[in-house]
């Protein structure tokens, strides 16, 4: 099976972490070298990688620290410091669950390296299963609207469909302000030989109204226990529109966090410059304000079907 | 009363037409010189000016032709040629009504120059009245969401509000792909000393859900006889969201066209490069397709109140 570079965007080789720099895609396929945990945390904060990339990165940061300190007698204080640094990077995404897991393993005296590598291996297999499960919801000739990027899962879903002789195509919102839709999703779908059409974020209702869309599939950055999700800003309004047009709305979820409902998920407000400028080009008049909530909450009742990622620990 | 440059973006001086080049705003306040009707039609086709600017331009094109041919015995064939050229520029916008008006005046032997200048004068006054009427729908401290650009009417509405001691502020969607919201609307509002915040097009539901928005005000490029409107792509989904969040949705309309309903209005599909590139910068991978309907239809039942522009001829 051939994977999108976005399916597993982090590598660990000779104890150097390589992060696929998504901010340079689609122009350059470049990996950032990370030599210590502080640089790793910085890469998370600067959104050099997202979603599952960040989960993988969290474990690789711990693995790197472990290997760099293998002669130390007491690794615990260092692990705690690393956990604190990771947890402080971003408000919406809960890394706490991951860092707690590592600290508990350490406290129990479990073989840390094997635990972490085992976890990542399970994660990989479960994600492949998710793609397979999603593919079962799709019919031949379906046109799927997606938003932002689901880290390599869409090409995989299309591949599972193809094996069942179901040929599907995609519409993707460009996903302002970072353009993950056009830069990442359209790139990986095109690369996999799939039919993909980009629209601006304000065309969702129009393409639905024209009858062009049969299904919506999005990912999620955060899943609350009641099924509410936090995902890239814009997801909520697509879900409202899908409901209005009676189009099934599927969400490929990460493991549920401790939040009981979406109301408990804090929305990250990012710097307004990220919206007012694009790659150094000013898009708006000087001195004008902007508002940039990076995520929104889609309540569970708008989600036709969750495709869960069950993680056993 | 001080007007936004976008309120009357075309000038006619010494029989040269000057068109405010909206594609260069907000960086440069530059006027394009137009010396003949073919260049005038080209400027319409290339969207150098929009909406009311195009209406003014249509009459200035005729005025220029008249003055250039004042010694000709039979001006009728030339006027017909000009009308054909104007009507062929863009599918969604109906210039037919305007060009027919001029041809009828000519046929009736009416004083063409006075008819046209009188019409433009009336247009100006009616538009000021529209702003005044809209201002009556607004309460003190209202926050108004708008999309695209309403050609200088929003600063005027705010000015009428201020005279009644009502202080209002604005959220504006950037309005991809041309960014008329950030480039034009945010610019003219900021210039008039008003409080304006830019959001991306995918944040409309989020700001409504947060309770930040009290009213939506948009313009329209086309009004059908049943009250359906065609306006910049993205208007329709904002109207659907406003309905969902029970936020009044007001539309400042042009005169109604001959179309009975929105279904009779042809949506212009523009070149995909306008979406895949921004001012020469490539935003998406090479070879990927895009779909760019430039307008959408908002059905009348989503419009809380139309603010009509009644034109007497």
Chain A partners within 8 Å of B197 (Cβ):
288-291
Residue A309 near residue A254 (C-beta atoms within 8 A): yes
Question: At residue B160, does pLDDT exceed 60?
Answer: yes
Sequence-ordered list of residues with C-beta below 8 angstroms from that of B215, at least 6 positions apart, any chain: B137, B138, B142, B143, B144, B145, B247, B248, B250
- The residue of chain A with its CA nearest to that of B212 is A291
What's the burial of B267, exposed, middle or buried (CB within 10 Å: 0-12/13-18/19+)?
A: middle
Q: What is the CATH number of domain A129-307?
A: 3.40.50.10470
Sequence-ordered list of residues with C-beta below 8 angstroms from that of B297, at least 6 positions apart, any chain: B228, B229, B230, B236, B262, B263, B265, B267
Return the CATH number of A10-124, one of 3.40.50.12140, 2.40.50.180, 1.20.58.60, 1.20.120.420.
1.20.120.420
Mind spelling out the 3-state secondary structure of A230-250? EEECCHHHHHHHHHHCCCCEE
What is the pLDDT, as a whole number, of residue B313? 54
Rounded-to-integer distance, Cα A88 and Cα B136, Å: 49
For residues A257 and B265, the model is more confident at B265
Rounded-to-integer distance, Cα A225 and Cα A297, Å: 13
What's the burial of B258, exposed, middle or buried (CB within 10 Å: 0-12/13-18/19+)?
A: exposed
B51 — pLDDT class (breaks 50, 70, 90): confident
**Residue ranges covered by each domain of chain B:** 10-124, 130-307
For residue B254, the SS3 value is coil
Q: How far is B302 from chain A (nearest CA, A)?
A: 13
Q: How far is A298 from chain B (nearest CA, A)?
A: 10
Rounded-to-integer distance, Cα B39 and Cα B22, Å: 16
What is the pLDDT, as a whole number, of residue B46? 86
Sequence-ordered list of residues with C-beta below 8 angstroms from that of B300, at least 6 positions apart, any chain: B226, B227, B228, B229, B262, B306
Rounded-to-integer distance, Cα A36 and Cα B197, Å: 39
A285 — pLDDT class (breaks 50, 70, 90): very high
Phi, psi angles (nearest 5°) of residue A220: -155, 145
Rounded-to-integer distance, Cα B37 and Cα B44, Å: 11
Question: At residue B228, does pLDDT exceed 70?
Answer: yes
What is the pLDDT, as a whole number, of residue B267? 93
Sequence-ordered list of residues with C-beta below 8 angstroms from that of A96, at least 6 positions apart, any chain: A87, A258
Chain A partners within 8 Å of B234 (Cβ):
200-203
Chain A partners within 8 Å of B177 (Cβ):
200
Omega of the bond leading into B56 within 30 degrees of 0 (cis): no
Assessment of whether the complete model's pTM goes beyond 0.90 = yes
Question: At residue B311, does pLDDT exceed 80?
Answer: no
What is the pLDDT, as a whole number, of residue A312? 65
What is the pLDDT, as a whole number, of residue B91? 67
- How many interchain CB pairs under 8 A, A with B? 181
Rounded-to-integer distance, Cα B138 and Cα A30, Å: 52
Q: Where would I find the H helices in A164-282?
A: 180, 186-191, 204-209, 235-244, 273-276
What is the pLDDT, as a whole number, of residue A290? 98
Buried b (16+ CB within 10 A) or exposed e, B133-155: bbbeebeeebbbbbbbbbbbbbb
Buried b (16+ CB within 10 A) or exposed e, A98-120: bbebbbebbeeeeebeebbeebb
Chain B partners within 8 Å of A199 (Cβ):
275, 290-292
Minimum-distance CB partner of A190 among B234, B282, B288 = B288
Please state, rounded to an integer, the average pLDDT across all residues of chain B. Answer: 94
Q: Which two tokens stand for residue B167?
A: 């202080």
What is the pLDDT, as a whole number, of residue B115? 96
Q: Is B39 a catalytic residue?
A: no
Sequence-ordered list of residues with C-beta below 8 angstroms from that of B167, at least 6 positions apart, any chain: B140, B141, B161
Residues A7-54 have pLDDT tens digits of: 999 999 999 999 999 888 999 999 999 999 999 999 988 888 888 899
CA A134 to chain centre: 16
Average pLDDT over residues B32-55: 91
Q: How far is B199 from chain A (nearest CA, A)?
A: 6
Residue B5 near residue B152 (C-beta atoms within 8 A): yes
- Catalytic residue numbers of A read 221
Average pLDDT over residues B68-75: 90
What is the pLDDT, as a whole number, of residue B257? 83
Residue B262 near residue B231 (C-beta atoms within 8 A): no
Mutate to test the interface with A, among B145, B190, B200, B292 (most CBs of A within 10 A): B200
Rounded-to-integer distance, Cα B269 and Cα B295, Å: 8
Q: Which two tokens stand for residue A201?
A: 């974020």
Q: How far is A311 from chain B (nearest CA, A)?
A: 31
| Contact (CB<8Å) B209/A236 | yes
Rounded-to-integer distance, Cα A179 and Cα A148, Å: 7
What is the pLDDT, as a whole number, of residue A118? 96
For residue A167, the SS3 value is coil
The domain covering B130-307 belongs, at the CATH homologous superfamily level, to Translation initiation factor eif-2b; domain 2 (3.40.50.10470)
Residues A74-121 have pLDDT tens digits of: 899 999 999 999 999 876 557 888 999 999 999 999 999 999 999 999
Mutate to test the interface with A, among B92, B183, B284 (most CBs of A within 10 A): B284
Catalytic residue among B39, B100, B195, B221: B221
To the nearest 10°, report the CA torsion of B251, B254, B257, B259: -20
Please state, rounded to an integer, the average pLDDT across all residues of chain A. Answer: 94
What is the pLDDT, as a whole number, of residue A95? 87
For residue A198, the SS3 value is strand
Rounded-to-integer distance, Cα B293 and Cα B291, Å: 7
Please, what sign has the CA dihedral across residues A82, A86, A89, A91?
negative
What is the number of residues in chain B?
313
Residues B3-14 have pLDDT tens digits of: 999 999 999 999
Minimum-distance CB partner of A187 among B171, B177, B285 = B285
Helix (H) or strand (E) holding A60: helix A51-68
% of residues, chain A, pLDDT over 70: 98
For residue A14, the SS3 value is coil
What is the per-residue DSSP string for B204-224? Answer: HHHHHHTT--SEEEEE-SEE-
What is the pLDDT, as a whole number, of residue B207? 98
Measured between alpha carbons, how far apart are the two ends of chain A, in Å? Answer: 26
């Amino acid at each position: 099976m051939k994977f999108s570079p976005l399916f597993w965007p982090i590598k660990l080789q000779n104890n150097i972490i390589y992060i696929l720099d998504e901010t340079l895609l689609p122009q350059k396929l470049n990996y950032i070298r990370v030599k210590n945990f502080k640089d790793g945390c910085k890469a998370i904060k600067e959104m050099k990688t997202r979603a599952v990339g960040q989960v993988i990165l969290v474990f690789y940061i711990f693995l790197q620290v472990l290997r760099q300190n293998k002669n130390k007698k007491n690794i615990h204080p260092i692990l705690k410091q690393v956990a604190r640094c990771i947890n402080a990077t971003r408000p919406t995404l809960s890394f706490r669950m991951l860092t707690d897991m590592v600290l508990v393993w350490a406290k129990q005296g479990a073989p840390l390296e094997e635990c972490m590598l085992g976890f990542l291996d399970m994660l990989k297999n479960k994600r492949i299963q998710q793609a397979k499960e999603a593919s079962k919801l799709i019919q031949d000739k379906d046109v799927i609207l997606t938003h932002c990027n689901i880290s390599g899962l869409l090409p995989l879903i299309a591949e599972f469909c193809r094996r069942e002789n179901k040929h599907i195509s995609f519409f993707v919102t460009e996903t302002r302000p970072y353009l993950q839709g056009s830069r990442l999703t359209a790139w990986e779908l095109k690369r996999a030989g799939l039919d993909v059409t980009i629209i601006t974020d304000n065309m969702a209702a129009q393409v639905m109204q024209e009858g062009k869309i049969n299904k919506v599939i999005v990912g999620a950055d955060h899943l609350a226990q009641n099924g509410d999700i936090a995902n890239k800003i814009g997801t909520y309004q697509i879900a409202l529109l899908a409901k209005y047009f009676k189009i099934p709305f599927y969400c490929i979820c990460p493991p549920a966090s401790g939040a009981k409902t979406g109301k408990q998920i804090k929305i990250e407000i990012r710097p307004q410059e990220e919206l007012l400028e694009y790659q150094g080009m000013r898009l708006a008049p000087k001195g004008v304000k902007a508002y940039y909530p990076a995520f929104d909450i889609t309540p569970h009742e708008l989600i036709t079907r969750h495709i869960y990622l069950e993680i056993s620990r």
